[in-house]
Structure 1
Amino acid sequence: MTDTESTDDRTLHVYVGEEDRLREQTKDVLRAIEAGDEPEDAGHTHVLNFESEADLARLLSPANLELLRAIRQHEPESMRAAADVVDRDFKEVHRNLTELSELGIIELVSDGRSKRPIAQYDDIEVHYSLVNDEVTTEQAGA
């Protein structure tokens, strides 16, 4: 992410169980581009799709949200500094930051012997359908 990109480009769009629909939307965007048209959903370039509500809940846990806000607002120089900002145990914060990095929500940049967490997004928008008729028993809480 560069400084010249607009703030709209710093929004992560999160979906749950929408893999097929997102695949079709991607195909539509590619068809529009090939035809020389401006795709309607071209602004949704940063997308994360979870298979279940449990995965979404883990991302949106109060601890993770607090950590993401702290990284965005305070720009800590290391993982340990991030743990200090949120006043939490380093091992727990390290685990959270590693998971957030694997999801592409933050970047961990090596800086000497430490890793500096960098927020990739300013906003997270969750798109959740209440009319999805393919809810599994795990998703329904059974």
Structure 2
Amino acid sequence: MSETPPTGEPDDASTESESREHNLLDAESAFLEDRDPEAYPPVLRITSDSDERHRREALDRLERWESGESVPHVINFEKPSDLRSLLTDRRLDLLRSVMGDRPASIRRLAERVDRDVKSVHDDLQILAEYDIVHFEQDGRAKRPFVPYETIEVSLEISAASSADGAAPA
């Protein structure tokens, strides 16, 4: 939250920055809404960064996108445990299988990965909630697919700097 200068007049730079940030968050949430999966960016990046860092990088991606550059779709988790909860070994296996050879149905995918249909369906639904997996209706079957060419997962771990005021453990 920005503070107003002592004169009582709003700080134009802070107000402009907050407005741009608010517009960015609106744009990010609507970025892939109603978008043809063929028009998705080629890269999905799943990160675990602080909210502050994620916002800075989102503003950078917005500027690059506005200048015509292709930028990745980014899903960020502030807590690494949330990222780990989403990307379990079984869900990663599903993603690899779907991306490697698009299955004809969820049932066929379950057979391919030697798992029961319900658990595969449930895992795909969770991945779909995060816009990672999509479905195409093919008669009575739902065909799962991933609209990205590449999924990058980034988890940075670094020592706290002395500027952070944190004492070493």
Return the TM-score normalized by structure 1: 0.72
Q: Percent identity of the aligned residues? A: 35
Query: Cα offset for 1:33?
Result: 6.8
* Whole-angstrom distance in 1 between the partners of 2:65 and 2:116: 48
Count of matched residue positions in the alignment of Structure 1 and Structure 2: 124
Q: Secondary structure at the match of 2:38?
A: coil
1:121 has 2:121 as partner? no
| Residue in structure 2 matching 1:75, options 102, 111, 119 | 102
Query: Cα offset for 1:43?
Result: 4.4
Cα separation, partners in 2 of 1:124 and 1:33, compared to 1, 3 Å:
closer
1:18 has 2:50 as partner? yes
Aligned equivalent of 2:75: 48
Moved more, 103-112 or 53-62: 53-62
Q: Which amino acid aligns with 2:80?
A: E
Query: Per chain length, whose mean CA-contact separation is higher, i.e. which structure has more relative contact order (CA < 8 Å, sep 6+)?
Result: 1
Aligned equivalent of 2:113: 86
Return the TM-score normalized by structure 2: 0.62
* Whole-angstrom distance in 2 between the partners of 1:99 and 1:71: 15
Q: Which amino acid aligns with 1:99?
A: I
Query: Cα offset for 1:30?
Result: 4.1
Q: Which amino acid aligns with 1:101?
A: A
Aligned equivalent of 1:2: 38
Tell me the alpha carbon deviations over residues 84-127 of structure 1, each in whole angstroms, 9 at most, x when there is no partner. 11110111001000011111111112222221101122322222
* Whole-angstrom distance in 1 between the partners of 2:65 and 2:122: 40
Q: Which amino acid aligns with 1:10?
A: P
* Whole-angstrom distance in 2 between the partners of 1:32 and 1:82: 37
Tell me the alpha carbon deviations over residues 71-96 of structure 1, each in whole angstroms, 9 at most, x when there is no partner. 11221111111111111011100100
Tell me the alpha carbon deviations over residues 3-35 of structure 1, each in whole angstroms, 9 at most, x when there is no partner. 8x8xxx42211111433222222334445677x
Q: Which amino acid aligns with 2:135?
A: L
Q: Which amino acid aligns with 1:117?
A: P
What are the ranges of 5 or more consecutive residues in structure 2 without an aligned counterpart? 1-36, 161-169
Cα separation, partners in 2 of 1:55 and 1:90, compared to 1, 3 Å:
same
| Pairing of 1:22-41 with structure 2 (within 5 A) | 22-30=54-62, 38=67
| Residue in structure 1 matching 2:84, options 32, 57, 69 | 57
Instruction: Provide the aligned C-alpha RMSD in A.
Output: 2.6
Rg comparison, structure with higher value: 2
Is the contact made by 1:13 and 1:44 (CA closer than 8 Å) also made in structure 2? no
